[in-house]
Amino acid sequence: MTEPILELIDATVIVNQNTPDAKIILQGVNLTIQPGEFITLLGSNGAGKSTLFNVIAGTLPLSSGQIKIAGQDVTQMGATQRTKLLARVFQDPKVGTSPRMTGAENLLLAERRGQRRRLLNRRLTAEKQAHFVNLVNRMGNGLGTRLDMPTGALSGGQRQALSFVMATLSRPEILLLDEHTAALDPKTSQQLMRVTDEQVREQHLTALMITHNLDDALRYGNRLLILHAGQIQADYNGDEKSQLTRNQLLDYFEQY
C-alpha cells in the first residue's frame, strides 16, 4: 500500500489552555491522505478549517497529537522548514507575493522555495523569462504580458493567478488552497478553478481546498470532508462524493 502523504493523529488545538477560558478549536482529528488526492473541505464559520490548515502548514502548533508528511514526523517542525514540503495559496490576493517585485522576480523566489537563498540574484535570463511567460499564459488572463510590472500593479485576479503559479512551481508534496477564489469575481474565480483542476491532475498534486462554494466542492476533487466544531463529521470518497447533491449538502449544514 502507498505510504500516506499526510497523516494527522489525534490532532488537537486548545486556546487559552489551562485557564477558565480554554476552548477546543481542533478536537482529536485523525486524517490520512494519499498521494494525488484532491480534497475539498467544507464547514461553517468557526468549524476549524483554517485551524486545520494552520497546523498542517506549521503556523500554529498542536496542543497534542502528531503530524506526518511523507512519513516524516513534522509535529515540532516550524513553518519555514515545512516550506520544503508544502505550499499555500490564501484568499487575499495580496498575501504570498511581494508587491514591489515584478511578477517574474516573485516567480524566481518561488522557484527557490525551501532552498538556502543567501544573497538572491534576481537577474533573469531570457530563457528563464520565456519559461515563466509560458507558465502564466495558461492562466488566460493576460498575466504573461505583465510579468515585468511590479506585482502590486496587477489586478486582483492576476495577482492570485501569480500566487497559484508560484505555489505549484516546485511541485510541493502538499498544496493548501485556502479559499483561493473567494475574493475574485465569478468569471475570474471559475477561470482559476479550471486551471487549478488541470494543474492538480497534470502534476499529480495532493491538494486540500477550503471552499464555501457548494458547487465547486461537488464539481472538483475526488474526496470531500465536512468539518464541524473542530471535528471531521463526514468524509465522502470516490463514488460516494460523485453521488452527492447540492441539496444533500445544504440539508447537512441545516443540522448545525
Q: How far apart are CA 105 and CA 115, in angstroms?
A: 16
State the pLDDT at residue 122: 56
Domain ranges, ordered by start, for the chain = 1-80+215-256
Query: pLDDT tens digits for the chain (256 residues)?
Result: 689 999 999 999 998 888 888 899 999 999 999 999 999 999 988 899 999 999 999 999 999 999 999 999 999 999 999 988 999 999 998 898 999 999 999 998 888 775 555 545 556 778 888 889 988 998 888 899 999 999 999 999 999 999 999 999 989 999 999 999 999 999 999 999 999 999 999 999 999 999 999 999 999 999 999 999 999 999 999 889 999 999 989 888 777 6
State the pLDDT at residue 91: 94
Q: How far apart are CA 141 and CA 32, in angstroms?
A: 36
State the pLDDT at residue 175: 98
What is the CB neighbour count within 10 angstroms for residue 46? 13
State the pLDDT at residue 119: 43
Q: Are 240 and 221 in contact (CB under 8 A)?
A: no
Q: Which strands sit side by side in the sheet containing 86-89, from one edge to the other?
A: 86-89, 174-178, 207-210, 38-43, 223-228, 231-237
Give the CATH superfamily of 1-80+215-256: P-loop containing nucleotide triphosphate hydrolases (3.40.50.300)
